[in-house]
Structure 1
């Protein structure tokens, strides 16, 4: 066998050996981007919720003041109100309703973000165990990596969309469109989370099935957190 052939074979072996590592590094990079995005969006949501809650408290106090004043007035005094006064009070009530609606939207966004964060955590836990699992061949791990990478890419897209929804509160966007987009993102994140858990379970089940003894099976179940 010539030296050139030996060098070529060694190069190919090294290249194939590096594939899973490179793929794992890429996936970890995506996961870190998602995790950073999740934290950033959570901070933005929490800040806005706090501001909205403060605004709501102020409006609620105004509402109570108005209601107290109304209860003190006699019917003939109410009848003598000017249109300007009625419009002013209506603005307060409309503002309270609007702020409450926005808070509900932000709370829904936070639920979506929490699910997204849970997805990243679940991915990191199971994928790190699968890569160390000697019951899987290199090509099987490579296939798993591609599937996980696809799920993470979709999750990254959702994070970017959630950030755009939060930004939309400072831009001109119809409330109905925003609510529809939030629901769409919630559905997408839930689907990603479902896909991840399903794929995790398939891989975990396969590993346990390959256990060669009762003791090994029990060890695997404990390792993967299977009851």
Structure 2
């Protein structure tokens, strides 16, 4: 390196002053250009490094997002399925049995009230309307139960499905309790009217009234 510098000095020494000055300016400019080139290369290297970091970060976020989406999709798809634990929940059978009991009891009661002769035609229409509304409401409970127990109908966790089944169970139980209270009250009224009718007939016989 020193040898090259001395060569350059000797060469410049043999040149006119103006020429030497011009060469010195060129060398100085060349040195500046080399320095700028080195700086530019460093800038490019830094930019490349930054781009790589940015790209890796973007890809990482993208992969995480896609991964989360897949996990979320699997989770949601899982919520569309009904587990055996839900299907075999004891209150499912209880709800169905309640509905069967409701239909059986209201039919028997309606026939009994109709045969008793204690109620007018209008009253029997009213009693029949009460039973019809109860029956329709019980069918809605069964439809709700079927929806909860059918896959690909609702997105619910097992806990949410069991909670919904409990609500349907309580609703069906309330209907059966109401039916039995209604039948009991109506039966008491029927019994009172029969007693009144028998008492009236007895008084008529005593008084010789036919």
Higher-Rg structure is 2
TM-score (norm 1): 0.46
TM-score (norm 2): 0.50
